[in-house]
Amino acid sequence: MELELSQRIGKLKTSPIRKLIPYGEEATRKGKIIHHLNIGQPDIKTPLEFYDAVRNYFEPVLKYANSAGTPELINEIKNYYSRRKMNYSIDDILVTSGGVEGISFALTAICDVGDEILIPEPYYANYNSFFNTLEINVKAVTTYAETGFHLPSMEEFEKKITPRTRAIMLSNPSNPTGTVYRKEEIEMIAQISKKHNLYIISDEVYREFVYGENKAISFGTFKDIEDRVILIDSISKRYSACGSRIGCVISKNKKLIQSIYKLCQARLCLPTLEMIGATALYKIDDSYLEEVRKEYEKRRNVLYNELREIEGVIVRESEGAFYSVVKFPVKDAEKFAIWLLEEFEINGETVMITPVEGFYKTKGAGRDEIRISYAIDELKITQTMAILKEGLKRYLKEESKRY
């Protein structure tokens, strides 16, 4: 008799970011050098304060920590928010294993099987892992490259609301689009949440990375919806410490936080050393974050200037995070991405990009879109874009022959 797996685990798909990895590995085996425009791993150095704090820590017995996080770290997170004019008490903050644990906990606490989440698409594809294992249904509101992936009208959201809708979820600045929602958009979401009695799960891990005139307005600044708002945060990108796995979930809704605290207790605690390191990062003067922001802004500008020159491409300047979603003049971006790895090279070099189709819930949407990450430095962006441009030119020539 065969041993079966659960149906919920069967619903888990391979992430669209990881889907291309085997093709990349095969290309590497064949000796090609791959330049990565597909990754969300910043190359910015982790501040030495992290390592110093970890090295200076010693307790003869490395004990279980508090389930909510160490008081010192929670206090520094509180201070970080208070510098941004958001006054949270230490009881409003629970430390989580990166942003993802916060998302998983928030969804568990508010959604039962069959409940629904309203979300603008394209959205961070990894959210699906939690939607699927928790058996939550997604209602996606489509946004478009032509309008810089900004939100459509209130009616478009309301069309998708049912009695089972529990929350509106979004990332701001957005992964994958790099869009920073404007004041009117944030206010519209707040209004919908009140009118339809919904939570707002706001993933704000890229909050510090906004460019030009753009400002990341946190849902944490709205007093009248404070019991509805669940903030998701993380040090991964902010302090370039992805490998430390420290994030937090924040809410003024006491009942919600008490419930999520029970989930924290179930997994006992987070690693002490990582919380020690994270505490040191939060103590760094905010001018550090401004330096990092400026660095990404330069990269964004370089990338945008490269992209706008390509014929047939639809691109708006990325407003935040370190991503841009670009409409390419190809029928199927995944085929193009695979072609780049399998068939194309210049002097033994090629490029890896992320097709965006897997970031949409709506079937067939975004088929001609790619996500480009500018987590790499200016020079590399320029060099890699030159290869990508040449790749596109050849691909279009081959495509025109084929069809």
Residues 187-206 that bind its own copies (CB under 8 A): 197, 199
Find the shortest distance in angstroms from Cβ 267 to its own copies. Answer: 5
CB 214, min distance to its own copies, A: 26
By CB under 8 A, the count of residues binding its own copies is 75
Q: Is 262 in the site for its own copies (CB under 8 A)?
A: yes
Nearer Cβ to its own copies, position 37 or 275?
275
Both tokens assigned to 361: 């819930």
Considering the complex, state which of residue 63 and residue 401 has its C-beta at the smaller distance from its own copies: 63
- Strand (E) or helix (H) holding 229: strand 229-234
Q: Cα separation of 265 and 71, whole Å?
A: 15
Using rule CB under 8 A, residue 280 touches its own copies: no
> Residue 135 or residue 349: which is nearer to its own copies going by CB?
135
Window 75 to 104, contacts with its own copies (CB under 8 A): 97-98, 100-101, 104
- What is the smallest separation between the CB atom of 237 and its own copies, expressed in angstroms? 11
Beta carbon nearer to its own copies, 96 or 143: 96
CB of 352 to its own copies, least distance (A): 16
Chain-centroid distance, C-alpha 260: 21
- Closest CB 388 distance from its own copies, rounded Å: 24
Task: Rule CB under 8 A: choose which of 35, 245, 300, 316 binds its own copies.
Answer: 245
Q: How far is CA 239 from the centre of its chain?
A: 15
Contact flag: residue 130 with its own copies (CB under 8 A)? yes
Residue 99 CB, shortest distance to its own copies, in Å, is: 9
Contact (Cβ atoms closer than 8 angstroms) between residue 184 and residue 49: no
Of 41-60, binders to its own copies (CB under 8 A) are: 41-46, 50-51, 54-55, 58-60
User: Which of 111/302 has CB closer to its own copies?
Assistant: 111
What DSSP designation does 147 have?
G
- Which of 138, 269, 284, 310 is in the footprint of its own copies by CB under 8 A? 269
Cβ proximity to its own copies, 299 vs 327, nearer residue: 299
Q: Where are the alpha helices (DSSP H) in 111-227?
A: 127-133, 154-158, 183-195
**CA separation, residue 34 to residues 31, 157, 350, 377 (Å):** 9, 40, 5, 15
Rg (CA), the chain: 22
Concatenate the DSSP letters of all residues of 193-217 into one string.
HHHTT-EEEEE-TTTT-B-TT----
CA 176 to mean position of chain CA atoms:
7
Choose the stretch contacting its own copies; rule: CB under 8 A; options: 106-114, 299-307, 320-328, 344-352.
Answer: 106-114
Q: Interface with its own copies includes 5 (CB under 8 A)?
A: yes
Residue 105 vs 211, nearer CB to its own copies: 105
Q: Which of 341, 323, 328 is nearest to 387 (CA)?
A: 341
Query: What residues numbered 315-334 form the site for its own copies, per CB under 8 A?
Result: none
Does residue number 63 form part of the binding site for its own copies (CB under 8 A)?
yes
| Closest alpha carbon to 134 in 107, 154, 168, 101 | 107
Strand-pair partners of 165 = 116
| Sequence-ordered list of residues with C-beta below 8 angstroms from that of 380, at least 6 positions apart, any chain | 35
Q: Which of residues 281-300 bind its own copies (CB under 8 A)?
A: none
- Any idea what DSSP says for residue 174? P
- 341 CB-near residues (< 8 Å, 6+ apart): 20, 23, 24, 26, 27, 32, 34, 350, 352
The residue range among 77-85, 207-215, 263-271, 326-334 that interacts with its own copies, by the rule CB under 8 A, is 263-271
Which CB, 5 or 379, lies closer to its own copies?
Answer: 5
With beta carbons less than 8 A apart as the criterion, state whether 208 and 238 touch: yes
